[in-house]
Amino acid sequence: MARVFKLTDTAPQTGDYQLDYEALLNKQQLEAVKTFSGPVLCIAGAGSGKTRTLIYRVARMIESGIAPESILLLTFTRKAARNMLNRVAALVGEEGRRVSGGTYHSFASITLRQYGHYLGLPANFSIIDESDCADIINLIRADLGLNKKETRFPQKKTLLDIFSKSVNREQTIEEIIESDYSHFSEHSKDIVVILERFRSYKKDNYLVDYDDLLVFLLRLLQESEEARARINQRFKYIMADEYQDTNGLQARITMLLGGNKKNIMVVGDDSQSIYSFRGARVRNIIEFPQQFDDCQIIKLERNYRSTSRILEAANSLMQHADEGFKKHLFTRREEGEKPAVVCCQDDQEQAMFVAARILELREQGVSLNDMAVLFRSSFHAYQLELELKRRNIPYVKWGGFKFLESGHLKDIIAHMRVVQNPYDQVSWLRILLLLEGIGTQTATEIFRKIKESDNPFELNEIKARPRAKEGLKRLSETLKNAAQLINEKPSRLLDLFAEYYFPILKKRFDDYPKRMKDIDALAMICQRFGDLSEFLSEIALEPPKDSSDNNMIVDSDDDEQLILSTIHSAKGLEWHSVFIIHALEGRFPSFNAFKSEEQLEEERRLMYVAMTRACENLAISYPGTMWDPVSGALLAKPSRFIDESGNDNLETWHISR
């Protein structure tokens, strides 16, 4: 009898672990945790303890003697990464902090600073965010005279969307225009010209945008064998979370990071893929195993989160979906209450219902922190926000609004950028336009002079109208002072500019006290950084957008707060009680999704994500009728997803006044 001897390079499993993995995990979770080598696909249904599994896997690796630095954990948000590293540290101690991790974008940023020279990219490149890109595109468009066309020409934001889709979906500009923006097809030549100018602008100014980060990282791994070898040397175990939301570039990056050993574990759930609008491909996770001959597939189907009533409704919804991996979530939790379906008269009544029900639950002892209201798009919550304010219910809103996108903070940051890079055109224009007596013409003219000058902060000689003199002088003085502080902590610079900016703020905005508080909050964040360029690139990469990042943007005297969130931002989280509002055809599913079957599928998965956030209580509500100003239609049909969740699984509630 021949014996097949299986070679593994897994550390000895002698059982001398500090943690009792067998007792702490279920069978499937344990299997995922114990398998270190080779490719592994872990299909983790909603609430199945995915994060727990990842954390214990890292813990066990470290306990087995694997160097924490050689483990790379790629997650979707930096918040998730930080959260995970904290939990690992709580399990195995400080060693856990040495695990490498972050988003694909932040990983790209760090790696490119180190190895970018292999591509001819200088280490001090600046990362620019979306609105920076939009500003640059605006400059180019004006320069080309394309802003004064008789026929409708796409807005800067739309142009940026087209460029970004083209990168992330790996299609040509023409293809994107044809499929998504066919009404602009007559302009496709001009759009391509703008893209070319945009690219060379970024190259000349050492600017890198979000999409470039991925493109350059992939190129680095593909083209420089030396860089790839060094990176593979460093990272021996790759784990990627939320793999269903990766795009083609990210998938190839993951494969290349795996090197020859292919110690790659990807975790995700094809039913929760909700980012195809920015190029995510469910295919990545579905076809993952086919790229290897020895891929292990582990499914986590036991749900620990929701009551069985909620789970039944969610399962029923997904029976209408075109699923990749068949799975059926089950729970051993109690039955619980049926999810409620609440038909309200209109938007206003819905807001009143949600607010009143929240207060009722609050009376019953549910903390506001354990409740959340979820919606498809952030503006769906406007009415509710008014109602909550009226009733003094404290809340925080996630998604939509971005802290750093507000004008006053961008102004401050523009000043800091100019100190870092005195030839940054977009920032110069921005700060010059703030001055009295200076408009676009003068500002452009001044910048031309600055570009040729050896002493860019010397503005006193510049010719401008008399009323602009005073402002220019003050700006010039401040910038010269700032230049002295360039190697100090960036918060000193920020303080300097905050003082300089205050009179401008006061004149420009009536609500300046509120905006001043934002600037203070930014100063708070800034204190964490020791170096100007570090601050500027971090802030571009992950705009801190809510108080949950311990950024203290919200007054901390309310320790109990209700969460309002877009479903996208609610990913991975859970609450005792969840409200889903505006479940109305045209809102959710959104009008924009009626165009194609795939987009409707994605809306359904979005509803699935929303429903599975709830542990005990779920209420789905909709206004009976509502006027939609965009389409000019009267929306009056409840969302198809309510029916699909199964009438037997739901309980209808009526409102009485």
Token pair recorded at residue 28: 């499937």
Tell whether residue 248 is a contact of DNA (CB under 7 A).
Answer: no
Using CB under 7 A, pick the residue from 13, 124, 147, 652 that binds DNA: 147
Q: Which member of 106, 383, 537, 645 binds DNA (CB under 7 A)? A: 106
Exposure string over 484-498, b if 16+ CB within 10 A, otherwise e: ebeeebbbebbebbb
DSSP calls for 322-379 = --SS----B--S---PPPEEEEESSHHHHHHHHHHHHHHHHHTT--GGGEEEEESSGG
CA-nearest of 29, 103, 101 to 60 is 29
Q: What is the DSSP string of 186-205?
A: GGHHHHHHHHHHHHHHHHHT
Structure tokens at 247: 């795009």
Note whether 442 binds DNA by CB under 7 A: yes
**Does residue 232 bind DNA (CB under 7 A)?**
no
Phi then psi for 211, rounded to 5 degrees? -65, -40
Out of 51, 155, 316, 561, name the contact with DNA by CB under 7 A: 155
Contact flag: residue 407 with DNA (CB under 7 A): yes
Q: Which one of the spans 30-38, 149-157, 287-295, 298-306 is the region binding DNA (CB under 7 A)?
A: 149-157
Q: How far is the CB of 276 from DNA (least distance, A)?
A: 9
- In whole angstroms, give the CA distance from residue 71 to residue 7: 22
- Is the preceding omega at residue 490 within 30 degrees of 0, hence cis? no
Please pick, from the candidates 569, 577, 621, 645, the single residue that binds DNA as defined by CB under 7 A: 569
Interaction between residue 443 and DNA (CB under 7 A): yes
Angle 156-168/188-204 helices, nearest 10 degrees? 80
Q: Report the relative pairing of strands 395-398 and 237-240 from DSSP bridges.
A: unpaired
Least distance CB 623 / DNA (angstroms): 16
Q: Does 154 bind DNA (CB under 7 A)?
A: no
Interface residue with DNA among 21, 76, 125, 529 (CB under 7 A) is: 76
- Single-letter code of the amino acid located at 318: M
Exposure of 625 by Cβ count < 10 A (0-12 exposed, 13-18 middle, 19+ buried)? middle
Q: Specify whether the CB–CB gap between 622 and 343 falls below 8 A.
A: yes
Listed ranges 111-119, 219-227, 419-427, 429-437: which one lies at the site for DNA (CB under 7 A): 429-437
Strand, helix or coil for residue 12 = coil
Which residue stretch of 59-67, 248-256, 332-340, 566-574 sits at the interface with DNA (rule: CB under 7 A)? 566-574
Please work out the total of residues on this chain that contact DNA, with binding judged by CB under 7 A.
50
425 interacts with DNA by CB under 7 A: no
Give yes or no for residue 426 binding DNA (CB under 7 A): no
Task: Determine which residue in the list 259, 268, 399, 490 makes contact with DNA, applying CB under 7 A.
Answer: 399
**Binding test (CB under 7 A) with DNA, winner from 115, 163, 198, 210:** 210
- Sites for DNA among residues 620-639 (CB under 7 A): 629-630
Site string for DNA, 513-552 (x = CB under 7 A): ----------------------------xx--x-------
Q: Which amino acid type is present at position 80? A: A
Quick one: angle between helices 490-508 and 407-420, nearest 10?
140
Binding site for DNA (CB under 7 A): 76-77, 103-106, 130, 134, 147, 155-157, 164, 210, 274-275, 277-278, 376-379, 398-400, 405, 407, 433, 435-443, 465, 541-542, 545, 566, 568-569, 590, 592-593, 599, 629-630
